[in-house]
Amino acid sequence: MDENTELSIEGLDLPPYAQRGLVQSLTMIDQAKSARRTLNGSLLNVADSQFRKYISSISNGSVEATQPPAFDLMYPGQILTVNCIVELCQRLTSTEMDTESELSTEAWLGREAVEGSIRYEDGYVFFRPVLEMMLKDFSFELDEWKSIISWNLELEEV
């Protein structure tokens, strides 16, 4: 793994120079965004809390990579453990601010945190989540003339 990145994906090899300039997005799955209006016009969230899952896209952005990830034996439906590069954030309550330690933090974070990624700042806790995700799709392309390889992974939390 390239020393300049913090992304790791258990189940996918990322050779040196495949991880330059990474971009990751997290968005909620469609089932988590289910809202309906009442007869009085009020908007209510009717999504079950079990659907609070993420979709993620990871790519090497517009950086000139010289090697693709090891996609050869990958297939849609494969389960991968993703140590995200995106940080999630939560506001701390006064009780939680008094106990700013990783041991107590793990109990109330919404998801498991990547080891060593928890940090505190101005009443907030920031962390990079560890997500169990299914590979939905991937792509890569080569611009032969410029020797530029672009790649993209599409994942969904299981």
Q: Is the pLDDT of residue 103 over 70?
A: no
What is the average pLDDT across 77-102? 79
Q: Is the pLDDT of residue 25 over 90?
A: yes
Residue with tokens 């300049």: 4
Residue with tokens 């079950």: 48
* Any domain includes 145: yes
Distances (CA, A) of 85 to 59, 77, 124: 12, 22, 18
- Count structural domains, the chain: 1
Q: What is the pLDDT of residue 95?
A: 60
What is the average pLDDT across 1-13? 70
> Using CA atoms, how far apart are residues 133 and 157, in angstroms rounded to an integer?
4
Residues whose CB is less than 8 angstroms from the CB of residue 17 and which lie 6 or more positions away in sequence, other chains included: 2, 65, 66, 67
Residue with tokens 């806790």: 125
Q: Which residues pair with 85 in a beta bridge?
A: none
- Position 101, amino acid: S
Token couple for 18 = 């495949």
* Any domain includes 45: no
* Any domain includes 26: no
> Using CA atoms, how far apart are residues 120 and 90, in angstroms rounded to an integer?
10
First-last CA distance in the chain: 25
User: In this structure, are residues 125 and 89 in contact, taking their beta carbons and an 8 Å threshold?
Assistant: yes
Range of the domain at 13: 8-21+55-157
Please indicate whether residue 117 or residue 92 has the higher confidence score (pLDDT): 117
* Any domain includes 99: yes
* Any domain includes 41: no
Counted residue by residue, the chain has a size of 158
Any idea what DSSP says for residue 60?
-
Q: How confident is the model at residue 117 (pLDDT cuts 50, 70, 90)?
A: very high
* Any domain includes 12: yes
Token couple for 8 = 């790791």
